[in-house]
Amino acid sequence: MRGQPQKLAIVHLVIVHLLNRGPTLQDKLLALKDLLLSMERVAIGFSGGVDSTFLSAVCAQCMPDSTRLIHLDTPFVGTPERESFNAAIAQLGLPVTVVKLDPFANPLVAANPQDRCYHCKRAGFAQIVQAARQLGISTVLEGSNADDKDDYRPGMRAVEELGVRSPLMETGWHKDEERQLLREWGFPVWRLPAGACLATRVASGQALTPNLISAIRRCEDLLRSHGLMQVRARVNNQAVRIDACEHDLNLLAGLGGTRLDRDHVSLPPHILTQLKEALSLDKDSPADYIEPIAHAYRKGAMNG
């Protein structure tokens, strides 16, 4: 009998632990599926990134016959995201509609004001919503999650104005949780580094042009061809600055760059030459100078 109080105390501690641990991933997955099933038919603004792929994969599990993917084809999408889109489409097995968007035709986007993201998002999702309506679908979803709540994301205002739902944010999903399940489900996108549209590389107030965006893409693609994983070619007036994650800074040092300090590595001479050549392919590109030093990448850094 003397052991009974001790056993009760242990049971009490276990119950307290279970109550305080919060929902498991399976609990959250069930909550997400319940929310999605309550919407009946949905169209997902699908980029092929981690968030929209995770949301689409869940829909493919619980409501494949009631889900349509709508992809916005725009020159602002980076090469890794394009490749991820093609791979994910083949794996998901859901029907997809592709909608083309020319952001340069919109003066509120091309001028690249401080709130450019709002105007771009508004124009893009307006076309997605219109495409969904033509398919007879009234509920449009997008992939923002709980990690995005505290970020500076003026585009979210446009999404809310258009009545687009964000079920991952509504059910409290974080990107590391999405990556974990995508890995378990066999989706290679789980390891795709965080990306942002190529327009975020250009300083606010500097006009966006097709040549400038193409030059940024070439620079980033060239760096990835050397094994770099998460890089940004940021433009401010005529200068291009390379930002890279810690893995990439270490790699640049190993390729012949000089480690200046924890956050800075000089670009290897042969890579610097290649970057200059990539810029010079467009004689009309306003960017023509590469800073010879790569800087540490900071999450959320935008517009120069």
Residue ranges of domains in the chain: 22-191, 198-296
Tell me: the pLDDT tens digits for 156-201? 888 899 999 999 999 999 999 999 999 999 999 999 988 789 999 9
Tell me: the pLDDT tens digits for 12-23? 443 444 345 568
- pLDDT at position 17 is 40
CATH for 198-296 is 3.30.300
Tell me: the pLDDT tens digits for 221-269? 999 999 999 999 999 999 999 999 999 999 999 999 999 999 999 999 9
Tell me: the pLDDT tens digits for 87-140? 999 999 999 999 999 999 999 999 999 999 999 999 999 999 999 999 999 999
Q: Which stretches of the chain are assigned E, i.e. beta strand?
A: 42-45, 67-73, 96-100, 139-141, 231-236, 239-244, 259-261, 264-266, 289-290, 293-296
What percent of the chain has pLDDT above 90?
80
Rounded distance between C-alpha atoms, residue 282 and residue 212, angstroms: 8
CATH architecture of 22-191: 3-Layer(aba) Sandwich (3.40)
Residue 282 has pLDDT above 90, yes or no: no
